[in-house]
Structure 1
Amino acid sequence: MARRTLPIAAALTATATLLLTACGGGDDSPDDIKGAGKESSSPSASASATTSGDSPDLSLPKDFKLVFDFDKPSDTKHAAALADAQNYTRAMYHGIVAQDPDDPAYHYYSDAQAAEYAKSQIQASVKGGYTITGTDKYYDSETTTLSGGKRVLVTFCENQAKAYSKEIKTGKVLRGEENLDSYLKHRLLMVPSSDSPQIWKVQVIEVVGKAKECQA
Structure 2
Amino acid sequence: MATVVAASHGPGRRTLQGVDKRTTKDAAVTAYATGDGLHYANTQINAWIDGGWTATGTLRYYDGTTRSAPNDKSVEVAFCADSGKFFGKEIKTQKILKTKPSIEDFDYFKIVMVKFPTNEGLWQASKVFVETRAEKCRSGHDASLRRAVVELVLRERCTVHRQRI
Which TM-score band applies after superposition, normalised by the shorter structure? 0.7 to 0.9
Matched, 1:161 2:75: no
Match of 1:106? 29
Residue 86 of structure 1, CA deviation: 1.4
Match of 1:119? 42
Separation of aligned partners in 2, 1:199 and 1:86? 13
Residue 108 of structure 1, CA deviation: 0.4
Return the TM-score normalized by structure 2: 0.82
1:67-120 residue CA offsets vs partner (Å, 9 max, x unmatched): xxxxxxxxxxx1121111111111110000011122221110010000011011
DSSP-derived class of the 1:83 partner: helix
Residue 172 of structure 1, CA deviation: 0.1
Return the TM-score normalized by structure 1: 0.63
Matched, 1:146 2:50: no
Separation of aligned partners in 2, 1:195 and 1:88? 18
Task: Kindly indicate which of the two structures has a greater share of residues assigned to helix.
Answer: 2
1:153-193 residue CA offsets vs partner (Å, 9 max, x unmatched): 10000010110000000000000011111100000001110
Match of 1:80? 3
Higher Cα Rg: structure 1 or 2? 2
Separation of aligned partners in 2, 1:149 and 1:116? 24
DSSP-derived class of the 1:186 partner: strand
Match of 1:70? none
Amino acid at match of 2:28: A
DSSP-derived class of the 2:131 partner: strand
Residue 195 of structure 1, CA deviation: 1.4
Percent of pairs identical after alignment? 29
CA-based RMSD of the aligned residues comes to 0.8
Residue 206 of structure 1, CA deviation: 0.5
Residue 123 of structure 1, CA deviation: 0.6
Match of 1:204? 127
Higher relative contact order (CA 8 A, sep 6+): 1
Separation of aligned partners in 1, 2:96 and 2:27? 27
How many aligned positions are there?
A: 139
Amino acid at match of 1:112: G
Amino acid at match of 2:100: E
Separation of aligned partners in 2, 1:143 and 1:93? 23
DSSP-derived class of the 2:84 partner: coil
Q: Give the one of 107, 115, 119 matched to 1:192.
A: 115
Equivalent residue runs for 1:130-145 within 5 Å = 130-145=53-68
Residue 148 of structure 1, CA deviation: 2.1
